[in-house]
Each structure stands twice: as C-alpha cells, then as structure tokens.
Amino acid sequence: MSGRLLTLVLLIGLLGSAFTLAPQIGALHLPGNQQGYEPVQPIAFSHRLHAGEMQVACLYCHSGAESSRHAGIPSAGVCMNCHQFVNAPLGALRAEEELAKKEGRKPRRIISPELQKLYDAMALGADLKSDPRKTPTPIAWTKVHNVPDFVYFDHRPHVATGVACQSCHGPVETMDRVAQVQPLTMGWCVNCHRQANLVGVAGKKVNASIDCSRCHY
C-alpha cells in the first residue's frame, strides 16, 4: 500500500515539474544545452554591422582570446577608440545634413540612442568630455556563450592553432543580436577534438586532447 502511495506522490511530483516547464516548451533542449539562446543586450550592439559590414577583426575587441583563458568583452574604452568620432549611423548623419541645409543652419551633432548608453556608462557629457556630475557605471552584458563552472575552456590554444572563431560561435558577423548557434555540449566538444586529431586544423596536424582533465579540474 505504502509503495502505491509513494509511486503516486512521485508521479505527481514529476507531472508538476513538467507542468512548470510547459510554458517554455518551445525552448526545451537537452539539459545543459543552450542552443538558440539569444538574450537582449543592454546596448543593441550589432556584430553584423561591425564584424560583417565594417570588417572589424574579432580580435580587435576580443583581444583576450590570444593571451588569456577568456576572450573577454571589450571595455567601454575600446568602443571609444572609434566612437569618440563616430556618434551616429551614416544615414542619420546624412538626414541631419540635408535637414540643416534645408533649414539653413549648421548641422547639429547627432548621437544615436544606443551610443548614448555607452556615453552615459562612461559618464560623458554632451560634448563627449568627462562629466563630473555623472557616475561611471560599467555595462552589464548578458553572457551568451556560457559553459558550466566545472568546465575550464581556454581560448588560447584554439586561437593559436587557428580554429576559426565561427567554428564555435557561428556566423557572428551576420547576426544583429548574437545567438548561440552550436550546442556547446561536451559531446560536441569531444567530437570536434576527435575530428581535429584525424584531419588536423587549418592544414596542420594537431594533438587535441580528449582527456577529462583537459577541461575538468
């Protein structure tokens, strides 16, 4: 009798957890798989524009990938290398110029609303100089490609070997908002390592370890 009761209780528990998950049924994946994750970022930064159209090299902003475990998200200072000069899209600038010509005045400085968020974070005033009345606030980006804490992935050997960024991160240069394309599961990692040992990377023979302690320690 008590066995029946136990089964019943457990069954209800199982159904309960299924029920709580029902609303996100479309997003269901195998545990640990975040494929397709595409969070909204605090600033609508477009990789399509920067890496695609403008052809900015990945390593220009994510320079840590060469020298550190983490590729890193660029500091706002790196953005300012260009964006102290570039304040708005070309289209908006042209439109303002035309409007100014029409109204017979000097064109005003146009700042795109997304870039304004960057300037606010840096505590810059309207003249793009440091404004002491504002407080600098770091930008809290949402991580897209995130492996669990017990995985010690390291960018350095991959970059040094010549693995293209896109092999793991997908065609980022075509994305306005970055989404996770690959599953980033252990099976996926190990398959790639096995494949690399068979056919090499970028024409070179490699020794891609599949030891557990390559990533887990």
Partner 1 sequence: MGENSPKRYWKSLEELEPGFDAPHDEFPEPLDGPVTQFDRRGFLKAAGFTVAAATLVGCGRAPVEKAIPFLVQPETTVPGRAYFYASTCAACSAGCGLLVKNRDGRPIKLEGCPEHPSSRGGLCAVGQAALLGLYDSLRLRQPLAGGKPSTWEEVDREILAKLTTLRSSGGAVRFLSGTITSPTTRALLERFLKQFPDARHVVYDPLSSSAILDAHEQTHGVRALPRFRFDRAVVIAGFDADFLGTWISPVEFTSGYRAGRALEANPPRLSYHVQFEPRMSLTGTKADRRWRVAPDEIGIALTHLAARVAKLAGAAFSVAGLAASPVPAAFLDELAQRLWEARGRSLVICGSQDIAAQVLANFLNHLLGNYGATVDLERPSYQRQGNDRDLQTLLGELESGRVAALFIAGVNPVYELPGGSKLAYVLKQASLVVSFAERLDEASSLAHYVCPDHHFLESWGDAEATSGTVSLFQPALQPLGKTRAMVESLAAWSGKPQPAYDILREHWQANIFPRQHRERSFEAFWDRSVHDGYAEVEPRREQGKTFRFNAVRPILSSARTSAGAFALVLYPKVGMLDGRHAQNAWLQELPDPVTKVTWDNYACLSPAAAARLGVKEGDVVRLEAGPGNAVLELPVYLQPGQQDGVVAVALGYGRQGTERFTKVAPRWIWARPGVGENSLVGVNAAPLLELAGGCLRYTRSEVRLTKTGATRALAATQKHHSLTVPQNIPLLGGERRDMVRETTWPTFLRNLAEAKHAAPAAQEDLWPADHAFPVHKWGMAVDLNACTGCSACVIACQAENNIPVVGKDEVRRQREMHWMRIDRYYSGSDDLDVVHQPMFCCQCDNAPCETVCPVLATVHSDEGLNQQVYNRCVGTRYCANNCPYKVRRFNWFDYARDDRLQNLALNPDLSVRSRGVMEKCTFCVQRIQEAKIEARRQGKEMADGAIQTACQQSCPAQAILFGDLNDPKSRLSQALRSPRNFRVLAEFNFRPAVGYLTLVRNRAEDQKEKHNG
- Positive or negative torsion for Cα 35, 37, 43, 49: positive
For every residue of 39-97, DSSP letters joined together read: PPPSS---HIIIIIIS---HHHH-THHHHSSS--PPPHHHHHHHHTT--S-HHHHHHHH
Interface residues for partner 1 in 1-20 (CB under 8 A)? Answer: 2-3, 6-7, 10-11, 13-14, 17-18, 20
| DSSP-based three-state secondary structure for 124 | strand
Which listed residue (94, 109, 143, 205) binds partner 1 by CB under 8 A?
143
Distance of alpha carbon 10 from the chain centroid: 40
Task: Draw the binding track, 152-191, toward partner 1 (x: CB under 8 A; -: no contact).
Answer: x-x-xx--xx------------------------------
Query: Alpha-carbon distance 191 to 23, whole Å?
Result: 33
- Of residues 60 through 119, those in contact with partner 1 by CB under 8 A are 63-64, 66-70, 72-78
Q: Which residues of the chain form contacts with partner 1 (CB under 8 A)?
A: 2-3, 6-7, 10-11, 13-14, 17-18, 20-21, 24, 27-32, 34, 37, 39, 63-64, 66-70, 72-78, 121-122, 136, 138-143, 146, 148-150, 152, 154, 156-157, 160-161, 207, 209, 211-214, 216-217
